[in-house]
Amino acid sequence: MKLAMEAAEESLRLHAGGDVLFPEKIVQIFDDDTQERINCLPATFRSKKVCGVKWVSVFPRNPVLHGLQNLSAVIILSEIEHGFPIAFMEGTLCSNIRVGAMGGLAAKYLARPDSESIGFIGAGEQAKMHLIAMKTALPGLKHCFVAAKTAEEEAQFVAEMGPILSDMEVEGAETDLKKATCDADVIVTATTAQAPLLKADWVKPGAFYSHVGGWEDEYAVAKQSDKIVCDDWETVKHRTQTISRAYKDGELADSDIHANLVDLILGRKPGRETDAERTYFNAVGLAFVDVDIAHAMYERAMEAEKGFDITIQEKMIFEHPELKDWVRL
């Protein structure tokens, strides 16, 4: 996670400096109601001489209907000196790490450094990855409450995360969302729900809130926040997150957004300034961050001599001696 957070911060700096080619993503939506879709997201880092693309499917109904994860992805990296692929990678891990890393990076600038408690609404993969990221950014975290749709989901969260973070107390909130969040220094919502689950009254002064999913909180949560920060507001405002909806409904304006995360990283805008500030972070996802994290993972794998070689093309097409036997006119 530390590697991912460092790569994420570096990628934002490089993008701000004009190093990154980042074309518009291609989105194929198969169901407007459920937003089942496959996205193609490319990016190139000139200084690193690497181009990457993430091919990611998002099928929100998978867990309920089929008992499958709702997100799957692959990543391809190519060098840009000759244009050949250098890596084909499973991308779900990278995607999940990126989401957590961005939340953890935001916490570095927006959460109270002395934060001790964290509360979750949602107990899936993104919530688990966020807990690791938040603990990485805020080592003083001691207590975690998680609220999910069922006590069984909470129990699984506790069983899986407790051994990983042995110096934290991790416990379920018995599906009580208020109990999980009302005393938390850090709040994370990571659900597939499209409803205002988090109430403004539950966010205490001084809390940092990381919004992961779509519509997960009341408009009032953002409106009462002292600072709202995005990974990229111009992208967020056109999506379906809570603050996107609030913007379209005239409840938030451009002037209500304090900064993009890179502005805090580069010192253009301040992060947290007082212990009492409520801070709000919303990341819609920037694929160039995935590509840089994937590249860092690739380099680490190469150093560790992990992975295996794949031969994509053994010979040029017309050099195959068997070609005469394969061609049928």
pLDDT, one tens digit per residue, over 17-65 is 999 999 998 999 999 888 899 999 999 999 999 999 999 998 989 988 9
318 assigned to some structural domain: no
CA–CA distance, 114 with 139 (Å, rounded to integer): 9
Mean pLDDT over residues 168-190, rounded? 97
pLDDT tens string 118-135: 999 999 999 999 999 999
272 and 124 in one domain?
A: yes
Query: For residues 178-207, b (16+ Cβ closer than 10 Å) or e, as one string?
Result: eebbbebbbbbbbbbeeebbbebebbeebb
301 and 272 in one domain?
A: no
276 and 138 in one domain?
A: yes
Q: Which residue has the tokens 């890393």?
A: 101
Counting the structural domains of the chain, the total is 2
CATH of the domain at 38: 3.30.1780.10
CA–CA distance, 228 with 258 (Å, rounded to integer): 5
Mean pLDDT over residues 90-116, rounded? 96
- Give residue 328's pLDDT: 81
- Give residue 301's pLDDT: 95
264 and 190 in one domain?
A: yes
Element (DSSP H or E) covering residue 102: helix 92-110
147 and 163 in one domain?
A: yes
Asked which of 6-15, 153-162, 273-282, 303-312 is least confident by mean pLDDT, the reply is 303-312
99 assigned to some structural domain: no
18 and 154 in one domain?
A: no
143 and 126 in one domain?
A: yes
CA–CA distance, 307 with 181 (Å, rounded to integer): 41
219 and 155 in one domain?
A: yes
| pTM recorded for the entire structure | 0.91
- Give residue 313's pLDDT: 81
pLDDT tens string 284-302: 889 999 999 999 999 999 9
Residue 321 pLDDT > 90, yes or no? no
129 and 77 in one domain?
A: no
For the annotated catalytic residues, the residue numbers are 54
Asked which of 5-9, 137-141, 257-261, 312-316 is least confident by mean pLDDT, the reply is 312-316
- Give residue 324's pLDDT: 86
CA–CA distance, 11 with 76 (Å, rounded to integer): 17
102 assigned to some structural domain: no
236 and 295 in one domain?
A: no
326 assigned to some structural domain: no
Residue 69 pLDDT > 90, yes or no? no
Q: What's the domain range around 261? A: 112-282
267 and 133 in one domain?
A: yes
Q: Which two three-digit tokens encode residue 55? A: 């091919």
294 and 255 in one domain?
A: no
319 assigned to some structural domain: no
Residue 322 pLDDT > 90, yes or no? no
DSSP 3-state assignment of 124? coil
Residue with the bigger pLDDT between 318 and 79: it is: 79
